[in-house]
């Protein structure tokens, strides 16, 4: 092998190695579930929610990673959503970075929008459409049912609510119509009001039943993060 051929061979190998490293670094580590449990905010607790994330990831070939739902619980053994999802960075199904770390995930700099908060299939989740002036189209005139409410049960910093008023639908075991509620975030970071809306803590749901969640602007979807 002459010097020129050897140089080209080494360059090709280096490029291949670099491409492989990039592919690993940009493996999907975040998605919004394409559907919820179908039983309102009753997800079967944290274990059931995690299993839902793992199942959806496995369905698209990402089941070799460990997945956890971005959910907090309340009470004596309260769990913080931010403590259960690893340390990042996290990329969506198309390789776009959502956040580099936990701190960035919980700031206005987080790259969560209707274009990046994709489901496990890489599809856009139904979002609030805007008028030409940037204000939200009135709900009756939205071109599709809005499903931008994402169950979180957490405060804006990813920490659990204090014990008291229910913000987790009995720690994700209730589908009650008239008791309890769930804090939700907006995956599109849009609302009927001007300005950005939080991705983690936008408002509580009307209740815990499937119809309550639909009435509020969602369908029981959750955020899933790879913890490894």
What pLDDT score does 31 carry? 98
Q: Is the pLDDT of residue 43 over 50?
A: yes
Q: Is the pLDDT of residue 10 over 50?
A: no
**Among 149, 142, 129, 136, which residue's Cα sits nearest to residue 215?**
149
What pLDDT score does 14 carry? 39
Q: What b-and-e string marks burial along 122-147, b requiring 16 or more CB atoms within 10 Å of the CB?
A: eeebbbbeeeeeeebeeeeeeeeebb
> Could you tell me the two tokens for 162?
């204090």
Rounded to an integer, the average pLDDT of 155-160 is: 97
Q: Which domains are delineated in the chain?
A: 27-226 (3.10.100.10)
What pLDDT score does 3 carry? 42
How far apart CA 132 and CA 128 sit, in angstroms, is 13
Rounded to an integer, the average pLDDT of 29-55 is: 97
Rounded to an integer, the average pLDDT of 130-135 is: 90
At 171-222, the pLDDT tens digits run 999 999 999 999 999 999 998 777 678 999 999 999 999 999 999 999 999 9
At 61-82, the pLDDT tens digits run 999 999 999 999 999 999 999 9
Cβ atoms of residues 91 and 28 within 8 Å? yes
**Among 68, 87, 91, 121, which residue's Cα sits nearest to residue 22?**
91
Residues 6+ positions from 173 with CB-CB distance below 8 Å: 42, 43, 44, 45
What pLDDT score does 50 carry? 98
Coil vs helix vs strand at 116: coil
Rounded to an integer, the average pLDDT of 149-170 is: 97
Q: Is the pLDDT of residue 6 over 90?
A: no
Cβ atoms of residues 106 and 80 within 8 Å? no
Q: Which of 11-15, 146-150, 172-176 has the lowest mean pLDDT?
A: 11-15
Rounded to an integer, the average pLDDT of 122-126 is: 96
How far apart CA 226 and CA 135 sit, in angstroms, is 34
């Amino acid at each position: 092998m002459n010097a020129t051929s050897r140089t080209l061979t080494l360059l090709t190998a280096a490029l291949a190695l670099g491409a492989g490293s990039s592919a690993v670094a940009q493996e999907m580590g975040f998605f919004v579930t394409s559907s919820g449990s179908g039983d309102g905010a009753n997800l079967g607790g944290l274990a059931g929610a995690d299993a839902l994330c793992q199942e959806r990831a496995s369905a698209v070939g990402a089941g070799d990673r460990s997945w956890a739902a971005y959910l907090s619980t309340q009470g004596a053994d309260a769990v913080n959503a931010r403590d259960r999802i690893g340390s990042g960075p996290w990329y969506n199904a198309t390789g776009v970075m959502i956040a580099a770390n936990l701190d960035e995930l919980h700031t206005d700099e987080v790259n969560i929008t209707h274009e990046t908060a994709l489901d496990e299939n890489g599809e856009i989740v139904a979002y609030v459409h805007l008028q030409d002036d940037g204000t939200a189209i009135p709900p009756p005139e939205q071109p599709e049912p809005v499903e931008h409410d994402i169950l979180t049960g957490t405060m804006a910093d990813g920490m659990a609510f204090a014990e008291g008023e229910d913000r987790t639908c009995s720690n994700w075991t209730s589908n009650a119509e008239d008791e309890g509620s769930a804090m939700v975030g907006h995956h599109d970071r849009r609302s009927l009001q001007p300005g950005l809306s939080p991705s983690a803590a936008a408002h509580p749901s009307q209740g815990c039943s499937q119809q309550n969640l639909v009435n509020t602007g969602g369908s029981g979807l959750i955020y899933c993060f790879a913890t490894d």
